[in-house]
Structure 1
Amino acid sequence: MGHFGFSYVGCIYLLMLFIPNIIWTKNRPEGYESFVIKENKTLLLFERVGQVCVTCVALIFSDFNIGSINLWSFWLVISFVLMLFYEINWIRYFKGKHTLKSFYGSFCGFPVASASLPIMAFLLLSIYGKVIWLFVSVIVLGVGHIGIHLQHLKAIK
């Protein structure tokens, strides 16, 4: 269920998530605004609710903090590797042309990497911390966020 307390790991993950997104607001791909107005409102609701829940849950449960190193730590390591891939994907985007295709493209075999990588990372973090609330929150976020990204990708093809 989870133990209340500040999670520095959750905070690090959220910083890894938010910082590139803040930079992205100044580097949006050309034509992005035309997709935003056509977003499915149900998916948008799932995304927004999921964002709030994931942010809160990642910070308020200390179960995500590093404890003893054992076999269970594998979940945290893989989760963190996915977050590193997410950062590398952003670096690739920022260094390249800021196109819709590069923004919604795959990276290292992960489709719509800018949406799928953090979702997978937070899912594995929820498994590592054994916190069902994060798992449920990430599923809600994933339905909305990945769903919207897939709709945008479909529209540009």
Structure 2
Amino acid sequence: MISIRPVLPHEWPTYRDLRLQALQDSPDAFGSTFAAESQRTDENWAARIAAAHASGNDRPFFAVNGDVVCGLVWCKLSAAEPGVADIYQMWVDPAARGLGAGGALLKAALDWATSVAVRRVGLGVTLADSPAMRLYQAHGFQPVGAPEPLREGSSLMSQGMQRQLSA
């Protein structure tokens, strides 16, 4: 049974480990890389989660299968556009794929965004016929804008997508 819960400040080592695992497992799914993220100090990882928890503008969530953390999503309010949030770092451990963790994580992020009066949620996804793309489309996300390179030096393209939320 998959459950979703916010990441708590003392759980930064679990967050770090899961984030690095995600970058190794799915390097073509993220704008960042394992090489870049693995250089962060423990203090930086801890500060990242503490700041998210304290700010009220960020909400990282874990998916948990039994007592094993198996997925991650981060929803962040836009500093530039009131009423807008973005989803980042969405990933589910291969051992938990097919159990509904991705949909549950996405629902938790959208529910949180709704609870803080967000009207539009955006994200970027590697342009491909992939489970991630199908998940976002199934949850009402639509392509917006032209695809852009996933990151500097990459031949892969990222498609921006957005979904309007009820007021």
Q: Common fold, TM-score beyond 0.5?
A: no
Normalised to the residue count of structure 1, the TM-score between the two structures is 0.32
Higher relative contact order (CA 8 A, sep 6+): 1
Richer in strand (by share)? 2
Richer in helix (by share)? 1
Normalised to the residue count of structure 2, the TM-score between the two structures is 0.31
